[in-house]
Structures are given as structure tokens and as C-alpha cells.
Amino acid sequence: MVPVKRHTYEAYFKLQAIEYAAENGNQAAARHFNVNESMIRKWRKQESERKGVSTVTIRQKAKAIAEEMDIETLTFQGGPSWCPRFMRRRHLSICARTTVAQQLPADYQERAAISRTYCRDKITAPSHIYEAAAGKLCHHTRVDCRRMGYDTVFMYCKSFHKINAEPEPV
């Protein structure tokens, strides 16, 4: 007996098949996309479960695949820094897990209004906002350092390395 060749399908193909199956049924989707009906059922079940993954599970799976493919540990180690680099290369992201019952605070509209008015009053242009994440709001305003008596400016980046920079001419 001839072994059956297994096929791999792209994520967008599976999503199209699931969408078509939701509108027209599993059998119609199987005929339309030329796959088994069981595959459509499996994909719909997987979508309804939507199991989350973490960087640890991605690394474990990558190591298991490397073992199956007989890739030496010197070539691929799958360390803690490998997963973020892999995700950046492949344009992947993991969203933070939240509970289904998580609700916004009662005064969230008032807090948002206060934040907007503060920004409008304190910041001269929207381009001065360069990062707003997780409750922090960072501002960037130009300062004429020569007028203040400085020839060079010391800046600290996120890695806390000191950078010596010449001020921009005004």
C-alpha cells in the first residue's frame, strides 16, 4: 500500500476555509477547498478552543522539532533570547492574557478625559508624544542647549548607556 502524503496548509487558507464553512457548512467547504471534511471540523474546533501559547511553549516545540530533524545542539540551542528574535523575524506577537470577566474601571472615561486635557495643556504638538504604553506617557520637547550654556548634551537611552550628542543648531 502506498503511504499517504500529508499536506501542510497556510494559516490564511485555513481561515478562509473556516469562514466559508461557517456560511455554507463543512461539506461545502471541503468540496470548495478540496480537503477532507474532517480537516474542516478539526480547524473549526481548534479555532473555537483558541489555546494560548507562551514563549516557553514555542521554545519547547522548536527544540522538539530540532531533535526530530537531527539538528545538532551546537547549531540550534533554542535559548531564552531565540524566541523573541524568531518572533521579530516572522512578524509574530503574543498578546497578554486577560480574563473574560475583566472590566474597565468605573471612572475610566473621566481618567481618559483628564489625560487628554493634560496632554493638550502641557504638550505643544502631538509629535512630542513618542511613547504611550501601560499607563506611562513619555514626552519629547526640544531644548536649545546652547542658549542654556551647554555645548554637549548627555542622553540616556533605554539600555541606560550614556550617549554624548551635539545639540542641533537652532
Both 22 and 62 in one domain: the answer is no
- Please state the pTM of the whole predicted model: 0.35
Residue 96 lies in a domain: no
Give me the phi and psi of 38, to 5 degrees please: -60, -35
**Is 106 domain-assigned?**
no
With a CB cutoff of 8 Å and minimum separation 6, the contacts of 13 are 33
Per-residue pLDDT, averaged over 56-79, amounts to: 85
- pLDDT surpassing 70 at residue 167: no
Using 50, 70 and 90 to split pLDDT, how confident is the model at 135?
very low
Domain housing 38: 11-49
Q: How many domains does the chain have?
A: 3
Assess whether 165 and 137 both reside in one domain: yes
